[in-house]
Amino acid sequence: MTPAGFHTLNNCRVEKGYRHWGHDIGDEDTPAEAGLGFAVALAKPDFLGRAATLRQKAKGPLCKRMVNLALLSTGTDTPLMYLEEPILRDGVIVGSVTSGAWGHRVGLSLAMGYVTAPQAVTPEWLNTGHWEVEIACQRHPARVQCAPFYDPDRRRLQ
């Protein structure tokens, strides 16, 4: 362990894809949309929201989903993503950034945000198309995925 400042903790959080209440998740987002369905104990007999969670699960793939983004450019001139930057797929805005930071361990400008699809946000939909993030009126190519860019298998604590 070593002391770390707030911005360093935020950078680590974004690298690992850890959500922040108020920025990345709020009361209008469901656990499944936020990628946190694994944390819901559906085996519990009753809790507030259980019925709604089961209904959403029965519907199948989601039309809204939290994703992780990385700008494809690297180096000192790579811009940072912070909040509300538009996410585009094939030139059409499909979402916005909720949190962003520089990923020191992966050497990339990283962000999290929600995207929506007409039918469903599936791995195939994410892996196709041309993805960009608009920062200060300029579009930058990006990679989009559900897993975090650092430790996607969640084997490391830090």
Classify 120 as helix, strand or coil.
Answer: coil
Residue 158 lies in a domain: no
Those residues with Cβ within 8 angstroms of residue 57's Cβ, 6 or more apart along the chain or in another chain: 32, 37, 42
pLDDT at 71 over 90: yes
pLDDT at 20 over 80: yes
Query: Among 10, 26, 16, which residue's Cα sits nearest to residue 147?
Result: 16
What pLDDT sits at residue 158? 61
Tell me the residue range of the domain where 35 lies: 6-145
Q: Which two tokens stand for residue 111?
A: 């962000």
Residue 151 lies in a domain: no
Q: In the chain, pLDDT over 90 holds for what percent of residues?
A: 75
Residue 157 lies in a domain: no
Residue 152 lies in a domain: no
DSSP 84: S
Please state, rounded to an integer, the average pLDDT across all residues of the chain. 92
Q: Chain-centre distance of CA 113, in angstroms? A: 4
What pLDDT sits at residue 85? 98
Residue 155 lies in a domain: no
The pLDDT-based confidence of 1 (bands split at 50, 70, 90) is: low
Half-sphere exposure of 136 (CA within 13 A, CB side): 5
What's the domain count of the chain? 1
In this prediction, residues 12-36 reach a mean pLDDT of 94
What CATH number is given to the structural domain containing 66? 3.30.1360.120
pLDDT at 100 over 70: yes
pLDDT at 83 over 70: yes
The pLDDT-based confidence of 87 (bands split at 50, 70, 90) is: very high
Torsion of CA 42, 127, 146, 137, to 10 degrees: -130
Residue 139 lies in a domain: yes
pLDDT at 44 over 80: yes
What pLDDT sits at residue 153? 79
Report pTM.
0.90
* β 108-116/64-71 pair status: antiparallel
